[in-house]
Every structure is written in C-alpha cells, then in structure tokens.
Amino acid sequence: MDFGVITFASTHAAIRTQKHLERHLRVTMMPTLREISQGCGISLRFALSELENVRRRMAAYDLDPKMFAIYRIRMVQGKYQAEQVDADRREE
C-alpha cells in the first residue's frame, strides 16, 4: 500500500505541523521509516490522494522548507522505497 509521509528536522516542527494539518486533512503520526534517515523520529503519514493538498499547505505553512521533506512511499518486494517529492514549491 503506497502512502505519503512528511519528515521533519525537529520533533517540535513535527508536532506543530501535525496540529496545523489535522485541521484540514487526515494525517497519522508515525515513527520515521528506517529507509528515510532524518534527524527527527516523528513523521506524518497521509494518503497519496492528498499529496497535492499536502504540498500546497506545506508550501504555504510557516515552516522553513529545510525543516521538512515530503516522500512518496512504495512497498516493493516487502520493503519500503522512499522517493522524495519536491517540497520547495511555493503557493502562487
């Protein structure tokens, strides 16, 4: 089952972002996958159908783009594969 995750460079950013995003869409807190090595252990999982929504909201959100990354996660032969999605785009 494919899904999207947002990873963060700090725990505080992850918790703050969850509070923001959960007002608009469904996100689930999860430990950052081993396949994605980031400084902070908290990620937010979302349905890929929300990817564009997440990108838009994160671009408009008051958080330095260097502090987070968005990934598309695929399960390939029983293992997760993470592909980073461009998160730098800003809302027009």
Partner 1 sequence: METNLDARGKACPMPVIMAKKEMDAGNLQFSITVDNDIAVQNLKRLADSQGYQGSVRETGGVYTMDLHKKGGSEPRLSQPLQDQPAKTAGQAHPPRSWAVFLGKDTIGDGDQTLGESLARMFFYTLAQSEDLPRWIIFMNHGVKLPALDDQVAEHLETLQEKGCRIMVCGTCLNFYGLQEALRIGMISNMYDITVCLQEADKVITL
Please report, as ranges, the residues that interact with partner 1 according to CB under 8 A. Answer: 11, 14-15, 18, 28-31, 41-42
Helix spans in the chain (H): 11-21, 51-60
The residue among 42 and 70 lying less far from partner 1, judged by its C-beta, is: 42
Q: State the minimum distance, in angstroms, from the CB of residue 31 to partner 1.
A: 5
Judged by CB, which is closer to partner 1: 30, or 60? 30
Q: For residues 77 and 62, give the distance between their C-alpha atoms in angstroms, rounded to a whole number.
A: 38
- Cβ 44 vs Cβ 63: under 8 Å: no
- Closest separation between CB of residue 8 and partner 1, Å? 12
Please answer whether residues 35 and 82 qualify as being in contact, where contact means their C-beta atoms are separated by less than 8 angstroms: yes
**CB of residue 89 to partner 1, shortest distance in Å:** 28
